[in-house]
Chain A
């Protein structure tokens, strides 16, 4: 089975987010980049499915030229090739993103049994690209998935809900958006890293439509204005802690 996983390059933020002066982006001069934890699990799942069932695992991203780094990371843990929709670095809104992904899937021509997304991107968190892509391609879609099984062309997905898991069964091909916890992604091996260098990346430059969800500016929310009341140092603080627990009524 051929599996496509869509990923997004995002910065690895620290304890505080710093914005660029024009308030249009995060200051990333000192930050590394990665993909969302959900997507890492998606890539891992795709690689496992292809290992188990054969086929090809492909990763796709819409992002700046530098996002090739993330594609290579994905290929280092086993994706076979990559599709890079190269942007000028400006973020696309979810509708435009979905449309570009759909165009790319059609242009690629591969019959994908499964198209995986992270449930939401780590940065924008729009919760909708997977579903839009599914609708455009006329495919069934499930969200928030933490368990995937494939047998006899049939997909079985599990989603956490109220202390248990709901089960969805749907035919392939399908679109699934996944959550971290689906699996424990592997670390890339050195041979994997080296193989990734020569795996193919098909790059193309899609044209960006007008944003219908138009970002005006970013704002770092004011802190909660809290300054923790320090109860003490080391073990000596224990009695005060217990008093607080009693006050709150959990003891």
Chain B
């Protein structure tokens, strides 16, 4: 073993699949002085990689996860440790079949074309020892593989060492991570200190403990995944390959079975959620197996045995086949099921590469290395970004509650709008009680309880003749009341609770320059102007979109969506000048926001204020403080729903009063309380407004999204160079608005896609643009005022032709014809924007 390092460009802690792969890619990206350490021995230091099941099912409903997985699989193939065996997700119920049909959509949207649905007879052919009589069908992915993650890690590590850019120290335990002035400075280990300005925590279930050493938080919880290995299986003893049969995921009972040599591995997510504390993981010496292999708890597994027996009686029911090995393996789970990647918001230079499973490990390694070395990864990692967590989401109680709830859904059928049941009612707007009285149905955003619709508005459904959705799945987590509220707003006015906005004040002499540097739009505007702007990454793709109010020469207020608020906060905080001439303060919980929009909005506002709110005195795109009774209200005349109106900001403790005042004043004007169903979907889609994380992702450019302005500001800003280049190029795809021509399905039920479905030719051929990206539905929803069902999608230029009727949307394996209504940003409702400017 070489002499211990005393300094390094970066220290990566953890020699599992993630740490090995990250260290390798850092050196590949050009860093030459990387140190990799682990407290355990090599090649298996005792973490979760060592007992992983090591199989890869490429298709996930999450695009980000699928991309990471496909990238990983490519690397495993290159390393020669990928054994393709195929995999089948089988369905025992019709509900599951529907889910598998949905998976077909995800497969096509993310470009996994080999996947197909198979009949029970076809399953039997692929897996002859299965009892197909209990199955309705399956989702077959021929490219499913089993990898040797330990070997892959070793190969990557050795290659990096070989190149001279990496030094590895095993059996080296971290004793502390030093932080000075908010920046990491060194790692203290059992073998000495290493000075480093970049430290990566890539040690899985131990991550929270390491982060805590530096005062940061990695909100994951170690949970148990049970598996047993039975054998020897007579049939497998005759196979010529170690893995001859496809892996079977028995989705309805949350289990999987796979051939492993002459044995059959049976794993389960069906048992109770068994959580552990990171502090409780035993030392390597005191552990009977490895520190992350806990003693098997038979009673938790017993019920699963019967399910396994039902599916594979030939093997599982064979008296000569014994249970040879059984463990409770620790795995990392997070509150939202996604990895935890990126620089911690608490400590500069301290990075997390946590909650990563084998299937996405090398992809994460590469993407994170790109991010660290070049400032951005080629895969958009916003769903995995550690800075996404709000403070409450970092608490142990929250993490435990959500992972406890999520664990049984590991193979579950999760609706895209499905709401969490646990740890709710944490952030309540001041209007919460009023909303409850109106029968609000609350959805959660960033911990806030937000009315999605109001049951009190039920009578409007009949009044406006809104039809219910026929298919249960399409109607789940949805209500026709949303459309009725929308129509009421368009006819009269709607009152919205927007308390979940994240709000940051940027003040100081350096504020303007900092914001100019951060965003695309010109923010050196007159005081009282409101600027809507995208925020770009270095590659010119989207990092966010938000509004900035100029409240004074050196005083700006940023308003952004709650869900993405914390990531935006870090994004701006990172760009603050080093000289302290500008500050960023999170004032989210100092202000509440109430929106009032609709043709009668001005009448309502005028009724409660003596300030002049006429179009002339208070034009669109401006903000100012007005008096409403004894309240000073910051009114901002913008709209995300396409109607005349204002966002009204008041100190949070006054929110209820403002709501009441507006509510009373609105009575004569038929003011309707409207939920986020209108704000986020129907109102937005009719106006073709783009949403971050739906249409706006880092892999799409401003030009492709149709959001380029006539001129680019002179000031430098992040992504400018790329943006200028994009303006010169032909876009590879153009964001279009499509509408469905015919909703009828083979079953006779009208069907409504919910988003992320592939856009295809009418014969089902997928559309792929010049950059290799598939066309898929970025947002879907009803446009009640235009009487159409609206889809947004990026289309290759040759298909981005208004009026074109050669395309379809594929939903539940059926294709529904669509028309390309709009190419580019023109709204489908009120294209002249007369309403918002009236």
Contact = CB atoms under 8 A, between A and B. Distances in A.
Q: Do chains A and B touch in the complex (CB under 8 A)?
A: yes
A186 B302 CA distance: 19
A221 interface: no
B42 interface: no
Nearest to B322: A187
Given A190-B317, A194-B305, A31 B322 contact: no
Kindly state the interface size class of chain B when it binds its partner. 20 to 34
Interface stretch (A11-19, A82-90, A104-112, A172-180): A11-19
A29 B289 CA distance: 14
A193 B302 contact: yes
Given A14-B286, A14-B287, A32-B295, A190 B320 contact: no
Given A190-B316, A190-B317, A13 B309 contact: no
A64 interface: no
B319 A30 contact: no
B282 interface: yes
A51 to B, nearest CB: 12
Interface string B298-335: 11001001101100000011111111100000000000
B288 interface: yes
B798 interface: no
B286 A189 contact: no
Contacts of B316: 190
Contacts of B296: 32
Contacts of B288: 12-14, 30-32
Nearest to B1: A233
Given A30-B295, A194-B309, A189 B323 contact: yes
Contact of B319 (A13, A29, A72, A192): A192
Nearest to B264: A190
B286 A191 contact: no
Contacts of A12: 288, 295
Contact of A190 (B282, B285, B295, B321): B321
Interface string A1-18: 000000000001111101
Nearest to B316: A190
Chain A interface, DSSP helix/strand/loop, else mixed: loop
B305 A14 contact: no
B282 A191 contact: no
Given A31-B288, A31-B295, A189 B324 contact: no
A190 B286 contact: no
A191 B309 contact: yes
B811 interface: no
A29 B291 CA distance: 12
B230 interface: yes
B319 A15 contact: no
Interface string B83-104: 0000000000000000000000
A106 B794 CA distance: 82
Contacts of A197: 302
Contacts of A31: 288, 295
A15 B282 CA distance: 12
B323 A190 contact: yes
Given A30-B294, A72-B298, A193 B287 contact: no
B495 to A, nearest CB: 55
A187 B323 contact: yes
A188 interface: yes
A33 interface: yes
Contacts of A191: 309, 317, 319
A69 interface: yes
B280 interface: yes
B305 A189 contact: no
Contacts of B289: 14
A230 B25 CA distance: 33
B696 to A, nearest CB: 47
Contacts of B323: 187-190, 193
Contacts of A69: 298-299
Contacts of A187: 230, 322-324
A69 B299 CA distance: 8
A189 B321 contact: yes
Nearest to A193: B305
A75 to B, nearest CB: 12
B282 A30 contact: yes
Contacts of B230: 187, 189-190
Contacts of A14: 282, 285-289
Interface string B417-433: 00000000000000000
Contacts of B322: 186-189
Contacts of B282: 14, 30
Most chain A CB neighbours (cut-off 10 Å) among B288, B306, B319: B288
Interface in A16-37: 16, 18, 27, 29-33
Contact of A189 (B280, B294, B295, B319): B319
Interface centre among A13, A32, A72, A194 (most CB of B within 10 A): A32
A69 B296 CA distance: 11
A33 B295 contact: yes
B298 A190 contact: no
Contacts of B321: 189-190
A223 B300 CA distance: 38
Interface in A187-233: 187-194, 197
Contacts of B287: 14, 30
Interface in A60-77: 69, 72-73
Contact of B285 (A15, A27, A32, A186): A15
B325 to A, nearest CB: 9
A27 B318 CA distance: 37
Contact of B305 (A72, A186, A190): A190
A188 B305 CA distance: 12
Contacts of B308: 190
B281 to A, nearest CB: 8
A157 B324 CA distance: 29
A12 B284 CA distance: 15
B352 to A, nearest CB: 26
Nearest to A77: B322
Nearest to A189: B319
A197 B283 CA distance: 34
Contacts of A193: 298, 302, 305, 323
Contact of A16 (B285, B294, B302, B320): B285
Contacts of B299: 69
B286 A194 contact: no
A194 B319 CA distance: 11
Contacts of B284: 15
A17 B317 CA distance: 38
A37 to B, nearest CB: 15
A29 B285 CA distance: 14
A44 B282 CA distance: 33
A223 to B, nearest CB: 11
B598 to A, nearest CB: 62
A127 to B, nearest CB: 25
A190 B309 contact: yes
- 8 smallest CB-CB distances across A and B, nearest first, come from A187-B322, A32-B295, A16-B285, A14-B288, A30-B282, A190-B316, A12-B288, A189-B319
Given A186-B322, A190-B305, 11 more contacts: A14-B287, A15-B285, A18-B286, A30-B280, A30-B286, A187-B323, A189-B230, A189-B321, A191-B309, A193-B302, A194-B306
Interface of A: 12-16, 18, 27, 29-33, 69, 72-73, 186-194, 197
15 contacts: A12-B295, A14-B286, A16-B286, A29-B280, A30-B286, A30-B288, A30-B294, A33-B295, A72-B298, A189-B318, A189-B320, A190-B316, A190-B317, A192-B319, A193-B323
Interface of B: 230, 280, 282-289, 294-296, 298-299, 302, 305-306, 308-309, 316-324
